[in-house]
């Protein structure tokens, strides 16, 4: 369940760039699914799209740290997957988050939302091995 403060922040977030960035993640997931090669990243893109739509009250953490053990996505195959993701979709999603952050940082009210976009840009560059958990 979302706290009233998280609800308010998520509502403002949607108005200040969260919706169009979530659509960008959904688009990336669809493109990954169509290419067949990108199929392993499709589900992750959709999960991060949901996180991008409602980020307040949640956080992205390392799956290895959270679960206490490594798995296929947190080892060498995860690094290879992240490199492929970076080339295929990560760089343009990160760039879109950074452009949105710069536009929001111009206003004092937008600074907290800009910071959230900067954190999402980092996640866009290297998402494999991460999971979304309640904050």
Q: Scanning the structure block, which residue is given the tokens 């536009």?
A: 103
Question: How is the chain split into domains, by residue range?
Answer: 4-134
Within 10 angstroms of residue 14's Cβ, the number of other Cβ atoms is 15
Q: What is the pLDDT of residues 78-127, one digit of tens each?
A: 899 899 899 988 999 999 999 999 999 999 889 989 999 999 999 999 99
Q: Give the pLDDT confidence of 23-59 residue by residue, as tens digits.
A: 999 999 999 899 888 888 898 899 999 999 999 999 9
What distance in Å separates the CA atoms of residue 46 and residue 48, rounded to the nearest whole number?
5
pLDDT at 4 over 90: yes
pLDDT at 73 over 90: no
């Amino acid at each position: 369940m979302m706290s009233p403060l998280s609800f308010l922040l998520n509502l403002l977030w949607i108005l200040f760039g969260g919706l169009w960035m979530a659509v960008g993640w959904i688009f990336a997931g669809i493109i990954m699914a169509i290419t067949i090669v990108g199929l392993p990243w499709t589900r992750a893109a959709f999960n991060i799209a949901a996180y991008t739509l409602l980020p307040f009250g949640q956080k992205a953490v390392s799956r290895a740290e959270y679960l206490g053990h490594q798995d296929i996505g947190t080892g060498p195959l995860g690094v290879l997957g992240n490199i492929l993701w970076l080339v295929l979709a990560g760089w343009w999603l990160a760039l879109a988050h950074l452009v949105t952050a710069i536009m929001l940082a111009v206003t004092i009210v937008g600074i907290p939302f800009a910071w959230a976009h900067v954190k999402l840009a980092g996640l866009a560059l290297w998402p494999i091995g991460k999971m979304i958990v309640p904050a």
